[in-house]
Structure 1
């Protein structure tokens, strides 16, 4: 199976052939543009151009017709052996296999990068590829130098680390069997206005300070213990130390970092070990140009200035070093710098890490209690990534990188891999292209090395700028009328002579020559920018640039400009058209094809919310912004993304905690509160349910400085779960209570009913009246009956009467 590098090389070849075909199909033959009068000039026009050195080729045509595409030259009768068409190539000179373990081997035996030396032969404009592999070996030696701020505010920290050596050696022993430890301290420049300079403060800067009346004189940097495997000596030296006092808040820590980096022999850095420099402080550092406040105008020279007492002797003579100088010296000496700072300084030092390669920042407790965990975490973070750096990069060579990390997926534009385990192997494909030819005899080379590694790849460069036929050039050749040099099929005439065979002298002219000097009938002779002499145009000189071509129709200054710069400075002007350098496109070559600046920390192009145009992200997702569209509080996935950071940063759980990508992806500032303010209109409220069925709430907002801020509850909100026994008792109690209530209601109703009946009886009895001589049960014996009487027609009754 082809490697990614092979695929990329084949793709580049296909693209070159396709480009040649398209130019030919459209009639855009840049090789025959008229600018090449020699084989060397032809090869510089474009990587697809070839030169025919055959003597009889092109007879009767212009000399420039010798420069064309290789296939066109053969079609026009040029034999293949006379075609000059060099191409770029790679030769591996030193290729030792990668090692698997570090300790117990000699320095030359441990190999972490492969190959170690190659030679690249480059034709300008022609790309070529090579592949390199990097592996961090197991059990590699480690040198750790602990550089501590001993200003007065660090007094409690000094007490905490008095037994640091033993504990740190025990923890580091789990990671490497070859560990050495050293110690140094710093305060600030002992001069005004940085420190107290009055006589009474010279011996004791704390004189008159009630809280802590005794301290040692102020010093810039003091090297106390060289790197050693005897950790007891570290404890002994630390116990001897006392704090000092300076006047202003910032410290002189950058002076100390530079001395610890460049004083290699005094510190004891080993070439075959990882170099860790732990910088512990609770305040900001002085930067370059701050020294002018004390009258120090001499920039730092980047050299070691330790005296016989192992103290920084140039503290009051030179300014503080710049960030660029720090980064250069740290990289030069393969030192990983770990900023161990308090929480309030985290953002400041995080910004420094973007300017100083190979640095990390960790949050230090106010009394340094977590310093061992901090160092172990920083070491693991360093060993989990590989990043390439380029040294002594020639300006006329363009490099582009494609990383292939553990997932095997090529990542164009990236030169680093993260989330690695010790022993993992990653590969990088490097594209090399020369934009021009250096002066003859100039040796060019550059170095590629992983940040912090001693191993490197040395690349020597050879330029294919000369044609092979130039080695057989003949002066005063009979082919050139004995007044010119015959070189690669053409004559280069002596001054005063012209023509394909130097057969004409300057000044000869006539009407028969004029027609050959017009591009077409009706056009000006030599395009109005030259004179017709000996059947060919002699172009005028111009203060703006070069005029050339068979009819002086071309120049190198009439191309598009960007901000007043021809072809934006990223291309060459050929006959009115910009020929862009590698990595740039557009009519005026102002658009970069580099996409590494658009890669977000999560590896996605523009965080998946936009597209990379001219090296910058154009965000297409509504509400997204930032250099890589990484900020988007209103995006649908914003809460989900930030949730993972909350889980791994606050509770060390979730997906990111497993693969150790939390520090790389979660750079937002997280503030924990007891009560969450949800009234802020600029913040987005997010919540999610935890594994314990609790609800975690946090808000996501963007600070004015562009920093994302997450405000979260210290603990998730959890409702108390129901108690089964209590529920059972409550149900039984409720049933009993309902029964008692119903029984009471029934009893009450019966009682009320009985009382009403009894009351009605009492009322009836009280209304009864009995006569004294009459029994209510006695019935009188005499009854009265009414009898009806009937009458006849004469009024007589038939019966009637009363009985």
Structure 2
């Protein structure tokens, strides 16, 4: 359905373009002044050639190259019109294998179709569709490649029983699992290793902590892939560490040998190939070998001797990243970097340069290696990405992915967040830019990364016209001095004219008017000579001058950084004709949108616009290739919060491991105490479901990677104990009751005492003498009466009686 829609859209575009050119009077087919059918076909997919013999009789200079509709209007019979179209033929189309259908591993089909043939006309884009499905219970070959330098001694102790445990975990994912083992240290030469005689047999000689080591070696293949996991344990238990001199290791030498020595390692064609690379340091890169005098580049071949050791370690330089990526892809190997946290960013940068690689953080003693491998395997099987092999230069490819949601995604060639058994489809657009030399057979291959299944595409170019097969030499139509083909004459050297009727050098006023584009303009545009009613264009050191009036050339088009049409188009009569996937006056603007799609599937992370294949961020403070970095954006803390929850606590919306691994790729550092003195860091607190407060900082480093620094545990107020609370409440109530009773008792006591005192006082006042009672009267009263009497002439005063 999508292919039919695209083909119809392409046809509509061609018709619309034809209409626009006709409306503007800019007929591209006629302006090219094609002199042969082949030249006409190369101008534009809508151009056609009329091979009819009597076409154009009566016209001075008939143009046989035009739009089909114009040729028909001008009297050309459709039988003589040459206008081949692109087509697709499916040669092999076995159905996809279904999960749980009881198939054998040798006839599994995970891509459909398997072989097609394309017939392409230059400039005409055609489409075909392919489908991919990852089947369930697919065989897995896992080769464990371990750094056995001295610093990995504790890791070696940890993995001594790795085989059994790993087989149990992988048995949950596949019933056909094989395991192998290899080790590496570094080149046994100066300055990479200790070369003094006393260190040859024991490079740890004199080292107090670990006095015994095996001699330094580059790469040693120890156990071929086998389903006998006990053998893995036995071989690992025999191993001893070695010692090299500098910090970097020779791991890339080992990776290349493990990839290309297919028979020795035992890689099966019908299995997923996983190569686990465990180390705690950085690797040596290409050109580092020159420090030891190794100037010969690595040849990419297998060099294992009879002892299964890398024999060319001291003869060739370390391999380059490009060579590693090529050999891993060629042998369908997924590389898993299992490295310590401090090396995560370094190896993460390697994954951008080496396809089909992932990075996982390894604990200091490799305790989490099993979960690490399982996570990486699930991550690998959750996505499908197409790769193109042996891509011819004459072809331009475009991709449109339709993933599990059914929505077409132009510009993408991969799908993520898939489950085993999901079917995804890809629409592939193919356009031929030019014609290769005749007789050249071209093929290319499209395959999902890491799959053995592939789609083989054979390409045939529609660059020749059928009418050339009826060519007549020394034809009377050409005055017997030329070859008549496709309605025109190809004159022998020294002759000109539509019918070879003129000789070179003949000129006259009767022909000059036919050599001017319009009256008043120069003859042949000043860039040619008029001979026999037609222009002979001069040669130029800059390129080709052509056209009916020598008005066109292929070098006067717009340039970008000094490159004509930016190298992404052809210069045609002063105008750049861009290849598929590019637009603009100088073809410098790419229409590819896949570089603008962020990990969450949004275009430019929703913070910008995709212009010419690059994101132009519109959100203040946003930056990065896909505008994914924006510490000051309002939603920055909210976005990173979900990654903190899923990575540290396995909770939240992204708790699904595959989703978390895909969307949360920032480095996370956990600390006991969060410091906020970094001016470039944004503090992000939030409240958890348990009403705790989680805090982290988000910062962008100069190297371009994001770092999240978070607390190991949220800050939580310790929850009260229920029994303690109950006892405290009951105790508080009892205490308050006792206090209240005490207060009441005290008040009553004070009141009683006051009353008693008052009573006592009253009682004391009641104790009085009877005589002192003013109400009491004595039964006998005495009264003093003063009387004066005169007796015998004397006065007497009686004071009382």
TM-score, structure 2 as length reference: 0.92
Residue 690 of structure 1 deviates from its aligned partner by: 2.4
Alignment of 1:671-682 (within 5 A): 671-682=669-680
The structure-2 alpha-carbon separation of the partners of 1:762 and 1:565, relative to structure 1 and needing over 3 Å to count, comes to: same
Q: How does 1:480-491 map to 2 (within 5 A)?
A: 480-491=478-489
Question: Any idea what the Cα deviations from partners look like across 1:98-147, whole Å, max 9, x if unmatched?
Answer: 12359985565111111111111111111001111111122222211111
Q: Which residue in the other structure is 1:267 paired with?
A: 265
Q: Is the 8 A contact 2:375 2:657 kept in 1?
A: no
Deviations, residues 577-617 of structure 1 (Å, cap 9, x unaligned): 11111111111111111111111111111111111101100
8 Å CA contact 1:103–1:177 kept in 2: the answer is no
> Which runs of 5 or more residues in structure 1 are unaligned?
783-803
Q: Deviations over 1:335-363 (max 9, x none)?
A: 11111111211111111111111111111
Distance in 1, matches of 2:373 and 2:69, equals 63
**Residue pairs, 1:694-713, within 5 angstroms:** 694-713=692-711
The 5-angstrom pairing of residues 179-578 of structure 1 reads: 179-578=177-576
Contact 1:545–1:555 (8 Å) recurs in 2: yes
Distance 2:104 2:61 in 1: 62
- 1:69-94 deviation per Cα after TM superposition (whole angstroms, max 9, x unaligned): 11121122211111111111101111
> How many angstroms apart in 2 are the aligned matches of 1:573 and 1:261?
45
Instruction: Find the aligned partners of 2:55 and 2:265 in 1 and give their Cα distance.
Output: 70
Q: Distance between the aligned counterparts of 1:107 and 1:742, measured in 2?
A: 87
Deviations 1:427-478 (A, max 9, x none): 1111111100011111111011111111111101000011111111111111
- C-alpha separation between the residues in 2 aligned to 1:747 and 1:162? 79
In structure 1, the residue matched to 2:619 is 621
Q: What is the distance in 1 between the residues matched to 2:148 and 2:657?
A: 37
Partner of 1:797: none
Q: 2-side partners of 1:103 and 1:257: how far apart?
A: 36
Query: Residues 419 and 659 of structure 1 are in contact (CA less than 8 Å); yes or no, is this contact kept in structure 2?
Result: no
Secondary structure of the residue aligned to 1:660 is helix
- Sort the Cα spacing of 1:63 and 1:280 in 2 relative to 1 into closer, same or farther, 3 A: farther
Query: Aligned equivalents of 1:92 and 1:304: distance in 2?
Result: 38
Which of 106, 109, 120 is the equivalent residue of 2:118?
120
Question: 2:3 aligned with 1:26, yes or no?
Answer: no
Moved more, 587-596 or 18-27: 18-27
Change (3 A) 1:268 1:49: same
Q: Structure 1 residues 15, 748: CA separation in 2 closer, same or farther (over 3 Å shift)? A: same
Q: Are the structure 2 counterparts of residues 778 and 410 from structure 1 closer, same or farther at C-alpha, using a change threshold of 3 Å?
A: same
Q: Matched residue of 1:367: which SS?
A: coil
Secondary structure of 2:202's partner?
coil
The DSSP-based 3-state class of the residue aligned with 1:328 is helix
Instruction: Give the deviation of 1:6 after TM superposition.
Output: 2.5
**Are residues 723 and 188 of structure 1, via their aligned partners in 2, closer, same or farther at CA, if it must alter by over 3 Å?**
closer
Separation (CA, whole Å) in 2 of partners of 1:755 and 1:29: 127
State whether residues 101 and 110 of structure 1, in contact with CA within 8 Å, keep that contact through their aligned partners in structure 2: no
What CA distance in whole angstroms lies between the structure 2 residues aligned with 1:334 and 1:103?
A: 25
Give the aligned partner of residue 794 of structure 1.
none
Say which of 715, 718, 724 aligns to 1:717.
715
Structure 2 residues without counterparts, runs of 5 or longer = 784-801
Does structure 2 retain, via aligned residues, the 8 Å contact 1:36–1:64? Answer: no
CA contact 1:222–1:311 (8 Å) conserved in 2: yes
Closer, same or farther: CA 536–147 of 1 in aligned 2, 3 Å: same
Q: Which deviates more, 46-55 or 192-201?
A: 46-55
Q: Does 1:5 align with 2:6?
A: no
DSSP 3-state at the match of 2:428: strand
TM-fit CA distance, 1:748: 6.5
Aligned 8 A contact 1:578 1:587 in 2: yes
1:325, distance to aligned residue in structure 2 (A): 0.5
2:179 is equivalent to residue 164 of structure 1 = no
In structure 1, C-alpha distance between the alignment counterparts of 2:62 and 2:688, rounded to whole Å: 76
Structure 1: distance between partners of 2:758 and 2:376: 98
Structure-2 residue corresponding to 1:799: none
SS at structure 1 position matched to 2:655? helix
User: For residues 203 and 60 of structure 2, what CA distance do their matches in structure 1 show?
Assistant: 86
Q: Which moved more, 1:683-692 or 1:601-610?
A: 683-692
Partner of 2:67: 69
Alignment check: 8 A CA contact 2:105 2:139 kept: no
- Where 2:241 maps in the other structure, the secondary structure is coil
Partner of 1:588: 586
SS of 2:675's partner is coil
Aligned-residue offset at 1:62:
5.9
Separation (CA, whole Å) in 1 of partners of 2:234 and 2:720? 58
Per-residue displacement from partner, 1:502-550 (whole Å, max 9, x unpaired)? Answer: 1122222222222222222222222222222212222222222222222
Between the aligned partners of 2:104 and 2:401, the Cα distance in structure 1 is 30
Sort the Cα spacing of 1:725 and 1:231 in 2 relative to 1 into closer, same or farther, 3 A: closer
Does residue 657 (structure 1) correspond to residue 655 (structure 2)? The answer is: yes
Shift of the 271–734 alpha-carbon distance from structure 1 to 2, 3 Å rule, reads: closer
Larger CA deviation: 730-739 vs 304-313: 730-739
- Aligned partners of 2:741 and 2:99: how far apart in 1? 88
1:254-276 C-alpha deviation (Å, 9 max, x unpaired): 11111111111111111112111
| Cross-structure match for 1:602 | 600
**Aligned partners of 2:33 and 2:63 also within 8 Å:** no
Moved more, 758-767 or 439-448: 758-767
Q: Distance in 2 between matches of 1:730 and 1:148?
A: 60
**Aligned-partner SS, 1:602:** coil
Tell which deviates more after alignment, 276-285 or 695-704: 695-704
Distance 1:774 1:87, change over 3 A: closer
Matching residue of 1:638: 636
Q: How does 1:761-776 map to 2 (within 5 A)?
A: none
Q: 1:688 to 1:520 in 2, by over 3 A?
A: same
SS state at 1:143 partner: strand
Superposition deviation, residue 42 in structure 1: 0.9
> Per-residue deviation at 1:619?
0.6
Distance 1:419 1:547, change over 3 A: same
Mapped to 2, the partners of 1:424 and 1:413 lie a distance apart of: 21
Report deviation, 1:40. Answer: 0.7
| Bigger mean CA deviation after superposition, 493-502 or 393-402 | 493-502
- Note closer, same or farther for the CA distance 1:371–1:721 as it changes in structure 2 (3 Å cut): closer
Which sits farther off after the overlay, 199-208 or 514-523?
A: 514-523
Change (3 A) 1:758 1:441: same
CA contact (8 A) 2:347 2:359 kept: yes
Partners of 2:94 and 2:771 in 1: CA distance: 150
Instruction: Please tell me whether the aligned partners of residues 770 and 776 of structure 2 are also in contact (alpha carbons under 8 angstroms).
Output: no
| CA-to-aligned-CA distance 1:151-197 (integer Å, 9 cap, x gap) | 11111222222222222222222222222221111111110000110
Helix, strand or coil: the match of 1:408? Answer: coil
Distance, in Å, in 2 between the alignment partners of 1:736 and 1:162 is 64
1:16 is displaced (CA, Å) by: 2.1
Q: In 2, Cα distance between the equivalents of 1:229 and 1:721?
A: 51
Name the SS for the 2:654 alignment partner.
helix
How far apart, in 2, do the equivalents of 1:61 and 1:641 lie?
Answer: 72
